[in-house]
Amino acid sequence: MQDNFLISLHIRPEGCAFVSFIQPLRDLQEVDGRIRELEQEILDIPERKKQEGARLNSLKKELEIAHNQVTAVQSRIDAAELESQSCREKINDLKKNQAVLKTNKEFQMYNREIKKIEEDIANFDARELAAMDDLIPAKAKSAEIEGRLHREQAVVDEFITELDQRLVEVEQVLEETRKERAEVAKSVDSRKMLYYERLRAKRWPVVVELVDGTVCSGCNLVQPPSVAQMVRRDQGVVVCTMCGRILYMD
C-alpha cells in the first residue's frame, strides 16, 4: 500500500514548473514543532509549581522540628521549676511541724530531712539553668529557619505568579500558532496530510533529512540508492524503508 502511495504521488503533470513537493510538509512540521513545545510547556507548568511547593515543604518541616525542640526545652524548664517549687512547699510544711516537736532528736531529724530537700532544690535549679541555656540557641535556630521560610515563600510566590503569567502567554501564543497551522495546512494536499498525520501520532519528527543522501536521520538506517534518487527529485513523498518517516534533502 505504501508503494502504491509512493508511485501515485510521484507523478507530476507534464510542463509544470518545478515546485518542491516536500516543502509544504516541512513548513507544516515547523509549525507543529512550535505547537508541541508550547503544549509541553503548558503541561510542565503545574509540575514546576508543585516542585516549588515541595521546596517550601521541606523548610516547613525543618521549622516544625525546630519549634518542637523549643517546646521540649521549655518543658524541661517548667518541670524543673515545678519540682523546685514542690520541694520548697515541703520544706515549709516540715518547718511548721518542727515548731511543735517535743524532742531534740526529732528536731535534728527534721533538719536533716530539710537539708536533703535543699540539696534537691539546688539540683533542680541547676537543671533549670542548664535548660535555659539550651533555650537561647533553640529559639535562635527556630527564628533563623522562620526567616528563611519567609524569604523563600516570597521567592516562590513571585515565581508562581510568573509561571501563571507565562501560562496565559503560552496559551495565547498556542492559539495563534494553531491558527497559523490551519493556514499552512491549506498548502498540503489531503493525501500527504493523511500520511503525515498518521505518522505524527506515532513518531516525531515526521519529515527528516536524508543525511549525506543515504541515511535516514530519524532511525539512522542507510537507504537503498533508489530512495536517495527519488528524494533528490523532490516530486513525491518518499519514506524511510524502516521507520516510514518522510525523507527530504536540501
Neighbour-count burial of 14, counting CB atoms closer than 10 A to its CB (0-12 exposed, 13-18 middle, 19+ buried) = exposed
Q: Map the footprint of Zn ion across residues 214-233, applying CB under 5 A.
A: 216, 218-219, 221
Q: Map the footprint of Zn ion across residues 116-135, applying CB under 5 A.
A: none
Q: Kindly state whether residue 242 participates in binding Zn ion, applying the rule CB under 5 A.
A: yes
Residue span binding Zn ion (CB under 5 A) among the ranges 37-45, 135-143, 174-182, 242-250:
242-250
- Least distance (Å) between residue 223 CB and Zn ion: 8
- Name the grid cell of 94: 516540715
- Least distance (Å) between residue 233 CB and Zn ion: 19
Q: Which residue lies nearer to Zn ion by CB, 223 or 235? A: 223
Q: Which residue lies nearer to Zn ion by CB, 70 or 240? A: 240
Contact 142, 63 (CB under 8 A): yes
Binding-site member from 38, 70, 207, 240 for Zn ion (CB under 5 A): 240
- Least distance (Å) between residue 240 CB and Zn ion: 3
> CA-CA distances (angstroms) from residue 106 to 97, 168, 188, 206?
11, 89, 115, 106
Classify residue 221 as left (phi > 0), alpha (psi -120 to 50) or beta: beta
d(Cα 131, Cα 128) in Å, to the nearest integer? 5
Per the document, the length of the chain is 250
Contacts with Zn ion by CB under 5 A: the residue count is: 8
Would you tell me which residues interact with Zn ion (CB under 5 A)? 216, 218-219, 221, 240, 242-243, 245
